[in-house]
Structure 1
Amino acid sequence: MSIKLVAIDLDGTLLNSHNVISLENKRTIQEVRNNGVKVVLASGRPLSGVIPFEQELGINGEDEYAVVFNGAVVQTLAGCVLMSKKMTYQDFLTMLKLQRLARVNLHFETTNGFYTCDRDLSVQMQINASFTNNVMKVRNKNEIPQDFIFNKVGFTADLDSNEIEKMWKNIPAWAFEKYDIVRSADNCIELNTKGASKGDALADLADRLGLEENEVMIFGDQDNDRSMFTNPNFKKIAMGNAISSIKDRADYITATNDANGVAKGLKKFVL
């Protein structure tokens, strides 16, 4: 079957190392869309951090979609939530316990903003908020209501710190059984409720759109894209800069994000 939906990771995939979309990638995506193929950005960011790039690509409206929060939420670009997998106040308390494994910052991501109980914020935490057009809302633990719900958690530390490595090595087995946990960068660990993943969200979206899974192509580079690469039916394109576990699962390895890898993959398999 021909490809009818293309899902593209943002950081390290569509965006180059300067965090911009190259002109070649932009032109190729526009050509793909002109041929009737749906293009969906699938990101760990919230919708607020995805929308500016959607607008740059000329994609907008109720019939266009984004997979955000690593797949915990699927939204239309007008903001309507089609699917949302949440964590609760009890998970909030669990995250505070996990934070004790190392000297790391912890923040909670919701569709209404980012929250943290930390007072001293790592540079990476501030970057995450800035890149996604969010203000980091600092609250005391007793200011968090018991009906608090959130979609994703981020543990971060500065790049010159080994604290994320320390935490990663000490996360207990029960946590991996209860949550989807990925190391999305050297200084960042991301956590969602079990079953909230880009792969599951994309399969759900394809079904909602009446598409077969073998009509879906995906691009990615990091561990938070792994769930897309474990689906045997998707056409799987790894970036040249992808980690080895992503490349090992790919049907094809394209050029890096600094060498228009997305455009080259689309030209080879879609156009």
Structure 2
Amino acid sequence: MVKLIALDVDGTLVKKKNLVSKKNINAINEARKKGVKICIATGRNITRAVKVAKAIGIDLAHEYVITLNGGATYKYDGLATPKLIEEHLFEMDDFKTIYDKAKQYRLSTFSYAEDPNVSYVVKKNFFTYVLKKVSGRKLIKYNRDEIDGKSYKIIIYGNKKGIAKIKEDLKPKGYEMFSWSYVPHSSNIEVNPKGVDKLYALQKVAANYGIDSKDIMFFGDGDNDIKAIKWVGHGIAMGNSKKDLKEIASGSTKTNKRHGVGHYIIKELLKSAK
């Protein structure tokens, strides 16, 4: 019996222009009426997750939002305000290790700092300005001796050879690393502190509710969703997911552009619940 539905956002719950379709919203609300809890699990920070959370009623239902790949988890209170309940940031030595390696391999970086108004970058270029526009953060060029702000996660961008080298160098550190690039001849990785990912945060949320993994449904499409999809009893891969994720999922649905979340909930969950 499904008691909790956890949802990735980009490539899963939303389509273009950051919108949640009416079909997805209606299906989620119907599931909630049957006693199912809803949770968002995204790589976004809370500022960019709030609109989506409100669209599916998480604010009014006082539910959880996992952000930054598990870096920070929030729960909406009685005033429909997200309250931080747990967070994990890089230690300064780890942050400097990653940035020094990025400089060595001439890669670009963008950090989601604890201060929501800033991001530390190795260099300013088109990639960092795009993320600046999306996040609204001021770009601060990395200076090893002057850095004083911690960060939740780091995005690294560059040529495939450089990304492969930095991944190999960082692997012994045990950081969580997720690939999300679909740009030809380049690659991106998201880096989180050791042990910090969507699965870690989802396990905490499930424990708070007293819900077993077998009673959780997780929808996702990316590398940062794989561990959670393996752990839950109902791991659902979006139609736009990569092959490796579809192979480990227990079920699949239509693409995010075709309301895959709503389609699956209506077809497999709501009908079976009648």
TM-score normalised by structure 1 residue count: 0.87
Matched residues in 2 for 1:266 and 1:100: separation?
45
Deviations 1:209-252 (A, max 9, x none): 11111111100011111121231x43100001101111011111
Match of 1:97 in 2: 100
In structure 2, the residue corresponding to 1:190 is in which secondary structure? strand
Distance 1:62 1:152, change over 3 A: farther
In structure 2, the residue corresponding to 1:173 is in which secondary structure? helix
1:167 and 2:166 matched: no
Deviations 1:48-82 (A, max 9, x none): 11001112223215832111111122112433222
Matched residues in 2 for 1:196 and 1:219: separation?
19
Match of 1:229 in 2: 229
Residue 267 of structure 1 and its aligned partner are, at CA, apart by 1.4
Matched residues in 1 for 2:82 and 2:114: separation?
9
How many positions carry a matched residue from both structures?
Answer: 259
Match of 2:112 in 1: 109
Deviations 1:189-215 (A, max 9, x none): 100011111112101110011111111
Match of 2:146 in 1: 143
1:183 and 2:161 matched: no
Matched residues in 1 for 2:189 and 2:142: separation?
22
Matched residues in 2 for 1:140 and 1:182: separation?
22
Distance 1:90 1:5, change over 3 A: same
Deviations 1:112-134 (A, max 9, x none): 324214452324x33334434x3
Match of 1:267 in 2: 266
Match of 2:252 in 1: 253
1:59 and 2:58 matched: yes
Matched residues in 2 for 1:137 and 1:100: separation?
16
TM-score normalised by structure 2 residue count: 0.86
Residue 168 of structure 1 and its aligned partner are, at CA, apart by 2.5
Distance 1:111 1:7, change over 3 A: farther
Residue 99 of structure 1 and its aligned partner are, at CA, apart by 0.7
In structure 1, the residue corresponding to 2:244 is in which secondary structure? helix
CA contact (8 A) 2:70 2:196 kept: yes
Give the letter aligned to residue 112 of structure 1: D
Matched residues in 1 for 2:168 and 2:196: separation?
18
Give the letter aligned to residue 74 of structure 1: T
Match of 1:9 in 2: 8
Give the letter aligned to residue 152 of structure 1: K
Deviations 1:88-120 (A, max 9, x none): 110121111221354432122134324214452
In structure 2, the residue corresponding to 1:195 is in which secondary structure? coil
Percent identical residues = 26
Matched residues in 1 for 2:61 and 2:130: separation?
29
Deviations 1:25-68 (A, max 9, x none): 12211222222211111110111110011122232158321111
Matched residues in 1 for 2:264 and 2:132: separation?
31
Alignment RMSD, CA only? 2.1
| Higher alpha-carbon deviation: 27-36 or 208-217 | 27-36
Distance 1:252 1:154, change over 3 A: same
Residue 262 of structure 1 and its aligned partner are, at CA, apart by 0.5
